[in-house]
Chain A
Amino acid sequence: MGKQGDENRLTRRDFLKRAAVGAAAAAGATSGIAQGLPAVSAATSKASGMKYRTLGRTKLKVSEVSFGTIRTGNAAVIHRGLDLGINYLDTAECYREGNSEIDLGKALKGRRDKVFVATKWHTDGKTPAADLLQSLDASLHRLNMDHVDLIQIHGAGNEEQVDSDELWEAFTTGRKAGKARFNGLSTHGNQAAVIRAAIKSGRYDAVLVAHNALTANNVGPAIAEAKKAGVGVVVMKALAPVHDGKGTEAFEKLTGNPYQRAIQWVLNDPNVSTVIVDMPTFDELEQDLAAATGAVTQAHIHEFEVAATSIAASACHLCGACTGQCPAAVQVADIMRYMLYHDGYGDQSRALSLYRSLPAAATAAACADCARCKAVCPWGLPIRSRMERAHAVLA
Chain B
Amino acid sequence: MPSWRSWILVMSAALAVCGAAIAPGQGAPAQSAAAASWPMYQDARSFTPQNLWQYIDGAADLFLSYGFAGLETAQYARQGASEPAITVDVYDMGTPLNAFGVFTSERWEGAPALAVGAGGYDAEGLVAFWKGRCYVKIATTESGDDGAARALAEATAERLTGATALPDEFERLPSKGRVPGSERYVRKDALGHKALTNVISADYHVGKTTAALHVADLLRSAQAAQAWTKLRDFEKRAGTGFAAAKGLGEAAFSVRDSGYGEMVVARAGRYLVVAASEHATRAALKGLVKGALAGVAEARGRQR
A residues touching B (Cβ–Cβ < 8 Å)? 74-77, 79-80, 83, 96-97, 280-283, 286, 348-350, 352-353, 356
Contacts and interface: CB of A to CB of B under 8 A. Distances in A.
B193 A97 contact: no
Given A80-B238, A80-B259, A349 B61 contact: yes
A225 B145 CA distance: 57
A115 to B, nearest CB: 15
Contacts of B258: 76, 79-80, 83
Given A76-B191, A349-B53, A282 B234 contact: yes
Interface string B116-159: 00000000000000000000000000000000000000000000
B192 interface: yes
Given A77-B259, A281-B193, A356-B57, 19 more contacts: A74-B189, A75-B259, A76-B192, A76-B259, A76-B260, A80-B192, A80-B238, A83-B258, A97-B59, A281-B189, A281-B194, A282-B193, A282-B234, A283-B194, A348-B60, A349-B58, A349-B60, A350-B58, A352-B54
Interface string B232-248: 00100110000000000
A283 B193 CA distance: 7
B57 A349 contact: yes
Tell me what chain A mostly uses at the interface: helix, strand, loop, or mixed: helix
A97 B58 contact: yes
Contacts of A77: 192, 259
A352 B60 contact: yes
Given A281-B189, A349-B53, A79 B58 contact: no
Contacts of A286: 234, 237
A364 to B, nearest CB: 16
Contacts of A74: 189, 191-192
B259 A96 contact: no
B58 A96 contact: yes
User: Which of B60, B191, B259 has the most chain A CB within a 10 Å cutoff?
Assistant: B259
Nearest to A71: B61
Nearest to B261: A76
B257 interface: yes
User: Which of A76, A79, A280 has the most chain B CB within a 10 Å cutoff?
Assistant: A76
Contacts of B238: 80, 83, 282
14 contacts: A76-B192, A77-B259, A80-B192, A80-B238, A80-B259, A97-B57, A281-B192, A282-B234, A282-B238, A286-B234, A348-B61, A349-B61, A352-B53, A356-B57
B192 A282 contact: yes
Interface of B: 53-54, 57-61, 189, 191-195, 234, 237-238, 257-260
Contacts of B193: 281-283
User: Which of B53, B194, B260 has the most chain A CB within a 10 Å cutoff?
Assistant: B53
Nearest to A283: B194
A352 B257 CA distance: 37
A96 B234 CA distance: 28
A75 B61 CA distance: 20
A331 B193 CA distance: 38
A283 B60 CA distance: 24
B74 to A, nearest CB: 21
Contacts of A75: 259
Contacts of A76: 191-192, 257-260
User: Which of A97, A280, A283, A350 has the most chain B CB within a 10 Å cutoff?
Assistant: A283
Contacts of A83: 238, 258
Nearest to B193: A282
Contacts of B257: 76
B61 A353 contact: no
Contacts of A353: 53, 57-58
A57 B279 CA distance: 43
Nearest to A82: B258
Nearest to A72: B192
A298 B113 CA distance: 60
A79 B259 contact: yes
B184 to A, nearest CB: 14
A352 B64 CA distance: 14
Contacts of B54: 352, 356
Nearest to A285: B192
User: Which of A96, A280, A282, A353 has the most chain B CB within a 10 Å cutoff?
Assistant: A282
Contacts of B194: 281, 283
Nearest to A79: B259
Contacts of B191: 74, 76
Nearest to A357: B57
User: 10 nearest interchain CB pairs?
Assistant: A76-B259, A352-B53, A353-B57, A77-B192, A349-B61, A74-B192, A79-B259, A283-B194, A353-B58, A282-B192
A178 B58 CA distance: 32
B51 to A, nearest CB: 10
Contacts of A356: 53-54, 57
A293 to B, nearest CB: 13
Contacts of B57: 97, 349, 352-353, 356
A281 B238 CA distance: 14
A105 to B, nearest CB: 13
A96 B260 CA distance: 24
A353 B61 CA distance: 11
Contacts of A282: 192-193, 234, 238
Contacts of B192: 74, 76-77, 80, 280-282
Contacts of B60: 348-349, 352
A80 B61 CA distance: 25
A282 B260 CA distance: 13
Contacts of A280: 189, 192
